Amino acid sequence: MYIGEEEVRACLTYKALIPAIRRALIDYTAGRVEQPPRTILRAGNAEGANNGWFAIMPVIAGDVMGVKTVTFYPGNVALGVPTHLAIIELLRRSTGEPLAVMDGRLITEMRTAAVSAVAFTALAALHFEIPPASLGILGSGVQARAHLEAFREVWPELKEIRIWSPTAAHAQHLAHEVHARAVSLEEAAAAQVVLTATSAVEPVLQGRWLADRALVLAVGATGATVRELDDEVMQTSFVVAESRSSVERESGDVRFSGAKVEAEIGEVLSGTRTTIPRDRRVLFKSVGMAIEDLTAARLVWAACVRK
């Protein structure tokens, strides 16, 4: 069975995906997921920032196994081609039978936003005395849009959305589309919650712009040698990781700043960790994991089988 992107779009909803991702993150931290480090190869197609990469992400969990092959080509923006492209193969764990092969581009987009929605719900409840109402977004691409859609499922108190992009016209376009405001970088960074979803290779968010008790959700700057957050952001924040080992290995923001990962989000979700500082900044860093792709792919496959 091959499942293309349009069928994935018809089958996968944030309403179903967000709670499934929550359970998957708990299972990962509890050791119920077998997930080796992803293998990443540089494509060698160009010099510098436009050099793409190709990654292989296998995982076993529950009654299924899977592998995602994913590419990231920053230079695709200029070609009108998605920067992330992927294929996911889903297999039955008990027999090894292939169940489905599906397009993984939209799954990658949605599961990333769903992880942030899960982290936001858990961290905001512990970090803020009253629910936050303002969101600053750094970036105006696919992930900015996906996160807004996911946040609508879990954040009814959201009243103010501020958007900044390196390309002002892109920020204006997205702001008009989602009834937000296009603002300066400093104003976006001063919101109560800040989402960084950039393709930066050097820091764009500076700690001096952040509120003292900001919650930062960092999903951009893909790779161990690139950054979107400066040292002050990293070193003044209580850092919560999607996965300690993955973030410490694959996040340039963590590796180059010397920041310490204080907790894993699965610990917060399971109740193993019940407190998060309210008197300092909190930073959630995610780099993406195969268990998230497997979780989404299983939902898509199950929905298609029911049809």
**Which residues span the domain enclosing 90?**
2-107+291-306
Question: How deeply is 279 buried, as exposed, middle or buried, from its count of CB atoms within 10 A (0-12, 13-18, 19+)?
Answer: exposed
Say which residues have a Cβ less than 8 Å from residue 78's Cβ, sequence separation at least 6.
none
Confidence grade of residue 46 (pLDDT, cut at 50, 70, 90): confident
Longest dimension (CA), the chain: 55
Q: Which amino acid is at 30?
A: A
- One domain, residues 272 and 296: no
- One domain, residues 97 and 75: yes
Looking up residue 75, the CATH number of its domain turns out to be: 3.30.1780.10
State whether residue 256 is helix, strand or coil: helix
- One domain, residues 70 and 121: no
- One domain, residues 124 and 43: no
Residues 60-105 pLDDT 10s: 999 999 999 999 898 888 889 998 899 999 999 999 999 999 999 9
Residues 151-184 pLDDT 10s: 999 999 999 999 999 999 999 999 999 999 999 9
- One domain, residues 194 and 296: no
- One domain, residues 17 and 76: yes
- One domain, residues 127 and 276: yes
- One domain, residues 129 and 269: yes
Residue 55: Cβ within 10 Å count = 18
Distance CA 194, CA 281 (A): 11
- pTM of the full structure: 0.95
Average pLDDT over every residue of 190-218: 96
Confidence grade of residue 1 (pLDDT, cut at 50, 70, 90): confident
- What's the pLDDT score for residue 208? 97
Domain count, the chain: 2
- What's the pLDDT score for residue 213? 97
